[in-house]
């Protein structure tokens, strides 16, 4: 089943993020709880999960960003696409991305975009096969400490 995350699933989501780029589970601080609460209350912030046998095995985040151009149409940004290592190659992340696409279409977004730090051709092909291209835009990132 693909759906949006529920408020009581923070710990399971954080455990899944260990397969993304996190090295350890964060401490359950007030800052973390407040951030989670903010995300859960934001109607434009969607954390999409694939559940199998009661376990979250894949996820992505879709944020709808209000916009003053393109006939006042919002756009969607995808982040934190991840699948548990034992469940990869089964199409679960694609299901999450398709769910996100449905949200973007329902909210009248004019585009959906994502960034990846991967240079692996298999990962790049995964995004191409999901309908994304790397030719329309050039991404620049500025990191902060």
Q: Which domain CATH number covers 92?
A: 3.40.630.30
Q: Tokens 């973390």: give the residue.
A: 32
SS (HEC) of the chain? CEEECCHHHHHHHHHHHHHCCCCCCCCCCHHHHHHHHHHHHCCCEEEEEEEECCEEEEEEEEEEECCCCCCCCCEEEEEEEEECHHHCCCCHHHHHHHHHHHHHHHCCCCCEEECCCCCCHHHHHHHHHCCCCCCCCCCCCCCCC
**pLDDT tens digits, residue range 87-115?**
999 999 999 999 999 999 999 999 999 99
pLDDT of residue 117: 87
pLDDT of residue 92: 98
64, 107 Cβ separation under 8 angstroms: yes
Distance of alpha carbon 4 from alpha carbon 45, whole angstroms: 10
pLDDT of residue 35: 98
pLDDT of residue 138: 86
In-domain check, residue 25:
yes
Q: Which two tokens stand for residue 122?
A: 């298999």
Closest by Cα among 91, 16, 96, 25 to 55: 16
In-domain check, residue 137:
no
In-domain check, residue 135:
no
In-domain check, residue 95:
yes
Q: Which domain holds residue 85?
A: 2-130
Q: Which two tokens stand for residue 73?
A: 């149409």
In-domain check, residue 23:
yes
pLDDT-flagged residues of the chain (< 50): none
Q: Say what the pTM is.
A: 0.94
pLDDT of residue 95: 98
What's the domain count of the chain? 1
In-domain check, residue 145:
no
In-domain check, residue 75:
yes
In-domain check, residue 42:
yes
């Amino acid at each position: 089943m693909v759906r949006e995350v529920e408020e009581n699933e923070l710990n399971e989501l954080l455990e899944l993020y260990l397969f993304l780029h996190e090295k350890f589970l964060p401490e359950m601080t007030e800052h973390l709880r407040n951030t989670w609460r903010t995300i859960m209350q934001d109607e434009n912030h969607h954390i999409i999960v694939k559940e199998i046998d009661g376990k979250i095995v894949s996820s992505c985040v879709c944020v709808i960003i209000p916009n003053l151009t393109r006939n006042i149409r919002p756009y969607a940004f995808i982040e934190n696409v991840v699948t548990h290592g034992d469940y990869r190659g089964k199409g679960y992340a694609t299901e999450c991305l398709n769910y996100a696409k449905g949200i973007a279409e329902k909210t009248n977004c004019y585009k959906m975009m994502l960034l990846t730090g991967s240079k692996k051709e298999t990962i790049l092909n995964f995004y191409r096969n999901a309908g994304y291209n790397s030719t329309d835009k050039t991404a620049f990132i500025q990191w902060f400490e």
